[in-house]
Structures are given as structure tokens and as C-alpha cells.
Structure 1
Amino acid sequence: MEIVNYNNKKPIISKDVFIASGAKIIGDVEILDCSSVWYNCVIRGDVNYIRIGKKTNVQDGTIIHVSSQGFSATGDKGAPTIIGNNVTIGHNATIHACEVKNYSLVGMGAIVLDRSIINEMSLVAAGAIVPPGTVIGEKELWAGNPAKFIRKISSKEEDLLKNTPEVYYNLSKEFLKK
């Protein structure tokens, strides 16, 4: 892993966060208790800030970035990235200048773009591309390119959203022992 200060900003990482080798965390980033950042992730808070809540898992190969004044996909001022508690970010996802709220899941290879909001207990399907400025309601499943509302999540999917962060937390505790 590599923790990089940038522009006098040093990442703040709670002591019980698991960060796998190959991960790079840069600049104005804060990661709270019981979270995990897996192999080869890049979390780059260089031109804005990134906040990651408690018991959130950022899976292998994910890129999390922000936007700055004049470089936002929406043409607006820049935006930070804010990820809530108990969130699952699937392998190789791209999370850019957006907000992902508690107990949500962004599937493998999905892309979530500037100023989008993924509300609580929602699911973005693997490979989906969420266009800039999209607002996904609570307990919704979105899929496709561009991502569109498919349906409300099922009780089985709700259980998945609740249980996956716990599974990854337990896995990260095992890795922290090594």
C-alpha cells in the first residue's frame, strides 16, 4: 500500500482499516473504522475531498476520484466523493465525484459519475454506467448504459446489502492478523 500526502493533505485512516498491498490513497481522504480497501485500488483526493464511512468495503481495482472547478462532467463547480457506512463497492468500479449512501452496493465494473447520488439501500448493477447528475432513490435497482431504474430491490437483495459489509469486515479482520 502507498499513502501519499498531496498539497499538504495527508490521508486520515482509522487504525482498524484494512488496506491491501498495491492500494494507493492520496491527499484529502478520510476512511473510518472497520472499512477495507482491497488490492490495487486508487483513492485520489487531490483536487477535492473523499470521505469513506464505517464498515465500507472498496473491492479490488476500484478507482475513487473527485472533480475540481472547471473539470466537472456536469459543467458545474467541482464535487467531492462521499461514501457512507456499510457500503459495498464492487471490483473495478469507478466512483467519481458523487455520493453513495449507507448500505448501498455498486456492482463490479460499474461507473458512477459526477454529482450522482445513490440513496440508501440501493443497488447499481455490475457494468452499469450512471450518468452525471443522476439521483437513484432508496431501495432501487438500476442497470444498463446509461443506467435506468429497473425496479425496487427484493427482500433477498436487501439482505445482500446488509450482509456483504459484515462479510467483508470479517474477512478484513483475518487479513489484519497476517
Structure 2
Amino acid sequence: MERGPGQDVSVISWLDYDAPEANFMLDDPELNLAIATQGRAQDGAEGLRHFTHGLRATHEGERSHLTVLAHSYGSTTVGAADAGGRGLDADDVVVVGSPGLTVDRADQLHIAPERLWVGAAHGDLVSDIASDATLGADPKEAEFGAQRMYVDTEGHSGYWDDGSQSLINQGRIIAGMTPDMGPRP
């Protein structure tokens, strides 16, 4: 599906869940452990499902291309949302810097595995260390079954660096196009 001039694109940031803190200086051990549990992702999952299904229900005309993009623990919330109920009803899901999607394999989500895109930057400690621990299997590994999107940035927060292939690839997916798969790590 090619998109070109004159095509409308809308971006909505959904932040209606309680993201865990990663401040190990806090005196409350429960707050420190929240980042390693699925609790907050599961708590936000139903709200996200209702939101995306609401977008579908209120849209008029031809079905639009809906891409859900998530970063870090937000991807865990997206995984929990797409694994449960009727899923997210998204055409594409993009996760970057993901510590896990609450499942062991891509085919346990409602999104087709060939429409689940995973980006992992070199030196992203969240993706490198936290994946395959307590939040689900490592989505960047081939056996997970998702599509590996090429990322040319560094660290956990560089996925949107101006001019990066990572940013271009996310834009291509949002527009319903195939991203550059680039060299495999």
C-alpha cells in the first residue's frame, strides 16, 4: 500500500496508564519493583483496548490504517492490551526498546506476526538486559516471531533521532509501507 501527497495522517499520544518509575533511590521497594512486573501494564491494557476500538467505531468512511507505536514499558502495556480481549484492532504494531510484551511468542497476540515490528538499538540496556526476564520473552529474538525493523540509533532514547533510519522506518510503517529491514545484528 503506497501513501502519497494528499493522504491524511493523525497522531495521538495515549498516556492513560500508570507507568512504573525507575528510581532506585526511592524508599518504597514496591515502586522499585513495579518496573519488573506486568501489573501496571495489565492494569492499563483494557483502557488501551477500549481506546483503539473507540477510534475504529467513531471513524467514518473507508477503514483507516491504524498503527500503535510503543516504547519501553509502554510496549509491555501494548502487548498486554493486544494479547487480551479482542486485541487492539491495529493494522501494525511497532515496539522499540521493549523489555517484553507479556507473551512468549508473537502468535499469542491478536496482531499478525508479520505486522508486529520490533526495533532494538545498539546499547539499549532495557532491551538488552530486561528482555526475556519478567515481562515476557524477548521480542527482538527470531524465535519470538516478530519482524525486526532496522534501527541505526544508540541507547534507549535515540529511536526518534532526526534523520535516523529508525525514525524513517517508523514513519514508513505508520504510512502503511514496509520499513527498511537493513542488516541483521
Q: Shorter chain as normaliser: what TM range? A: under 0.3
- Structure number with the bigger relative contact order (C-alpha 8 A, sep ≥ 6) is 2
Higher strand proportion: 1
TM-score (norm 2): 0.23
Higher helix proportion: 2
